[in-house]
Chains A and B, each alone.
Chain A
């Protein structure tokens, strides 16, 4: 029974991905033919070739990597310090602060597009990398702070106390003890932030004017021609866009899975 359930779940999760991969190598006229297995005999990498040769898909990939990478690099340290303070230091109104923080991330994104557009245009940041990175930092921070606060609270307090008594300053305790021990949580949070930026569409569409700074989702959306949708290329683009995500997750997986805290305490 549970095996059958697992099989159904896996099929549901992997089905679309298999479909995407299959369609990306099928000739355009075979994609909706209803006989994909036969179609696979004619499989080719034409869509991928078209993607990179004709559409210059490397540019949006580079843009996405820069924007998502910069956002993560800037927002993660800020979120870490903020979350540590919320988790450990004596402070008034922590609960209220956390609630307000969550409220920021519950703001419907569409409602801030227009005002943000005006701000970015006035500051000359429209259609630049910082013009995307700054809003992304704002919108990824709340979730990151929430996740990390919860994570830091779970860390054994004795470890930090021991480091304080060993003579380390608060910041040094964070660097030498908290961060290494919290590495799995930091890695998961970084991945989530990166993915948010990688997949974000609305801001990326609104705040960029041309291929120069467009990110992957925007580029794929704009594949649509006037009379037809190039499904093969869209799905090839989607496959390429998924790749970095898979690589990032695999790269961090060992850190996430390995229980780094084991052995610190009695158990």
Chain B
């Protein structure tokens, strides 16, 4: 496999709308890098730039340290899985899988062997003579993966490959992708808007917002040391509580912000007074929405595993000081 790097890449559409506004990234050989962010953050555009389906207005794209910025997509030797799957509707599953090999003039035996291997790996052998319209959503998704797999490309680009699946299938397909990627040690760039998918799949995760890179780190580091309030809120569910330090009486810079993850806070003796707003039981735990009894009565969310308080009741909420994240007035991590 190969390395993929992106240097100062920029894609500006009409009049100052920068879909990608100067991104630097390097994907190591065999690494799975996840691009994650809310819709419209430029993650899909960045993937299309890497694929060669769109041209950057500035910057360079390197594959194996070779500048491919002006190389057409056909010659970049990357494989891509689309959110819509984009299976060729007039071809059978076998023809769909074989198409890229046929275009590249592989001989029949190689094509048959590779299609067979990919079909085996993805449990598609029984479906080879069907057309995409005769397949279920999960089967189509596997064909889309298979089409990328037969190529043995330099790198895989996956654009929200799971977002059209039912939730139950999604977990299963996610594990499938994880297993395949780790076994093949395939350099992979994976785009998603789902932070949970990002954390479970990625060796490293790049969080994007408005065309910029907010933080690039391992899932653990993203979760434990978010670089700013955006990443802090985006990663983790329910989202991290952000409360003005002044309101809590925490000694910090005047307009600093304090961040506490919902499961790090507990209800009990001592701490900040709060009123229970609503509760959302989730089975294994319950999400409790509180209103803190301080200036501006900010909302505060915690999760409890047992004895959820009744809505409307007055409680006290506290947390360990070492679990507190501190951000400055600009939202950057402080300390």
| Residues of A that sit less than 8 Å from B by CB | 156, 158-159, 161-169, 172, 176-177, 180-181, 260-266
Contact = CB atoms under 8 A, between A and B. Distances in A.
A181 B72 CA distance: 24
B88 interface: yes
Contacts of A263: 87, 89, 131-135, 140
B76 to A, nearest CB: 8
30 contacts: A156-B86, A158-B82, A159-B88, A159-B89, A161-B73, A162-B80, A162-B147, A163-B88, A164-B73, A165-B53, A165-B74, A165-B76, A166-B100, A166-B103, A166-B147, A166-B151, A169-B74, A181-B88, A260-B90, A262-B89, A263-B131, A263-B132, A263-B134, A264-B84, A264-B86, A264-B89, A265-B84, A266-B83, A266-B137, A266-B164
A159 B88 CA distance: 7
Contacts of A164: 52-53, 72-74
B88 A177 contact: yes
Contact of A161 (B86, B90, B147): B86
B315 interface: no
Nearest to B144: A162
A264 B135 CA distance: 10
A168 B131 CA distance: 21
A91 B164 CA distance: 33
Given A165-B79, A172-B103, A266-B137, A158 B84 contact: yes
Given A177-B88, A264-B88, A264-B89, A167 B82 contact: no
A167 B88 CA distance: 14
A261 B89 contact: yes
Interface string B110-133: 000000000000000000000111
Contacts of B84: 156, 158, 264-266
Contacts of B137: 266
Contacts of A156: 84, 86
Interface of B: 48, 51-53, 72-74, 76, 78-80, 82-90, 99-100, 103-104, 131-135, 137, 140, 147, 151, 164
Contacts of B164: 266
Contact of A167 (B74, B85, B134): B74
A261 B164 CA distance: 18
B133 A262 contact: yes
A164 B51 CA distance: 10
Contacts of A161: 48, 51, 53, 73, 80, 82, 86
A168 B53 CA distance: 13
A266 B85 contact: yes
Listed residue (A158, A167, A263) with the most chain B CB atoms within 10 angstroms of its CB: A167
Nearest to B88: A177
A180 B103 contact: no
Contacts of A166: 99-100, 103, 147, 151
B123 to A, nearest CB: 19
B99 A176 contact: yes
Contacts of A168: 74, 99, 103
Contacts of B133: 262-263
B74 A265 contact: no
A181 B90 contact: yes
Nearest to A169: B74
A161 to B, nearest CB: 5
Contact of B103 (A167, A261, A265): A167
Nearest to A90: B55
B132 A165 contact: no
Nearest to A183: B90
Among all A-B residue pairs, the 5 with the closest Cβ atoms: A263-B133, A166-B100, A158-B86, A263-B132, A264-B89
A157 to B, nearest CB: 9
A163 B151 CA distance: 13
A266 B135 CA distance: 10
